[in-house]
Amino acid sequence: MSTKNIELVAEPRAPHFVGDGFRVHNFIPSGFRLDMERMSPFIMLDYNSKFYFPPTDTPRGVGVHPHRGFETVTIAYKGKVAHHDSSGGGGVIGEGGVQWMTAASGVLHKEYHEEEFSKAGGDFQMVQLWVNLPAKDKMSKPKYQALSAEEISIHELPDNSGTVEVIAGKYKDTKGSASTFTPVHMMNAKLNKGGTADFSFPENFNTCLLVIEGSITVNGTEQVPTDNFVLFETEGETFTVSASEDAVVLVLSGEPINEPIAAQGPFVMNTRQELMQAINDFNMGKFGYLE
């Protein structure tokens, strides 16, 4: 197997607010050559780097809004989020948890800081990903997967290097419990200082990293600090990540869907006609009801 080398390292751009509860740096899609086609099946990545929210009696967040044609995945590192959608999915995710919502044919959705977290205030740190769906699944039935920290598969690394928590896909012989429509590997490497993990993904998969905590060295040569994003070339299969200090690294690799993308706001379809149909269906109330 050959080494998968870094194509680019992207620093976080200036943050912006989504609603009043999510202060995010956008990496996908962005001007770093990280467009939806290049990063498929990962078509959006917003990163709420660690940020302190003071106490409030009114939970911050994002009000009711629609989605169609893809999945939203929220990974909680600090803080708690309450989520509800018009298909009946919902719940609270806390530190180490994941909520995986398949919007597919269409849902209304809202997400807020969990009530007790809001009253106490505290550090908040999350990643939200949008994972595209292939044409044959875009109009499938919505569903919801909630994974608590205790439900996520853990692979122990040798030599006290740390752990790899597998959300979806596979690391070595450890499988993630989240179901996916196309091949997707999603995991958090939690490395102790001096620890190393090696990864191997198919050459054609789009593969990237986000350094959540600490700093790392990739392939023994490239140093990457906190909150930076790494895109790998499509050539090669294997790479190593070593922790210069205790580190948490989100690792993503997925098979590109290689279908046309027509996107506007919260709708991601294959054609302009399907996009217009999604907007019309939403305006006609076909996505259900959510207060």
* Cβ within 8 Å of residue 265, ≥6 positions away: none
Indicate whether 34 pLDDT > 80: yes
Q: Taking 90 as the threshold, does the pLDDT of residue 101 lie above it?
A: yes
On whether the CB atoms of residues 201 and 1 are closer than 8 A, the answer is no
Report percent pLDDT > 90 for the chain.
Answer: 94
The reply to whether the predicted model has a pTM over 0.75 is: yes
In a domain, 139, yes or no: yes
Q: Is residue 264 part of a domain?
A: no
220 Cβ contact partners less than 8 Å away, ≥ 6 residues apart: 240, 242
Ranges of H-type helices in 41-166: 115-120
| Count of alpha carbons within 13 angstroms of residue 191, beta-carbon side | 27
Q: 262 lies in a domain?
A: no
pLDDT band at 87 (very low <50, low <70, confident <90, very high): confident
In a domain, 42, yes or no: yes
Question: Quick one: pLDDT at residue 161?
Answer: 98
pLDDT > 90? residue 288 = no
Number of domains comprising the chain: 1
Band of residue 89 on the pLDDT scale cut at 50, 70, 90:
confident
Q: Is residue 270 part of a domain?
A: no
Per-residue pLDDT of 241-267, as tens digits, reads 999 999 999 999 999 999 999 999 999
Alpha helices in 195-236 (DSSP H): none
Note down the domain range covering 110: 6-254
Tell me the mean pLDDT in the region 111-129.
97
Chain-centroid distance of CA 7 in Å reads 20
Give me the CATH number covering residue 10. 2.60.120.10
The bridge status of strand 153-156 relative to strand 162-168 is: antiparallel
109 lies in a domain?
yes
